[in-house]
Amino acid sequence: LGREALEWFVDGFNASIVAFGQTGTGKTYSLYGSGGHSSLCESDEQGLVLRIFAELFNRIEQMSTPGWKVGLSCWELRHNEIVDLIKGQPSKHGEMAESKGPIESEYTLVEVRSLEDVCAMLAYSHEFS
């Protein structure tokens, strides 16, 4: 699970990992591992998100193609409202709007350059979760 999203991303497409389900069904465990949000990078049992990012950064390091940029956005659906977990507030419209160029979003997109950056942003976004 997740390898297909990683392959799409490496091939130049946007990729997302989404967990959906009822409370208590294991979404957080699947995404973040046994440490949950609190100890993301320190857990021996890392979840899907960190394993995918670790492999992505490993592949980028091995490639000879310069110019890779990796962005991270964090949001959740809360009571039928989409909340940007980096801004810490609900989206105005709760949906992405298409422009004449690439799809633009109201959601914060942060450039991450390492697994440590990912861990820091996920820990920060958890404050608003």
Kindly report, residue by residue over 100-111, the tens digit of the pLDDT.
Answer: 444 445 778 899
Contact 115, 54 (CB under 8 A): yes
Structure tokens at 55: 């492999």
CA distance 36 to 40: 6
How many CB atoms are located within 10 Å of the residue 98 CB? Answer: 8
- Ramachandran angles phi, psi of 6, nearest 5°: -65, -45
- Ramachandran angles phi, psi of 99, nearest 5°: -110, -170
Amino acid at 13: F
Could you report the per-residue pLDDT of 87-128, keeping only the tens digit for each?
A: 875 555 444 444 444 444 577 889 999 999 998 888 888 877
What confidence tier does 17 reach under pLDDT thresholds 50, 70, 90? Answer: confident
H or E stretch covering 3: helix 3-10
How many CB atoms are located within 10 Å of the residue 110 CB? Answer: 16
pTM of the model: 0.77
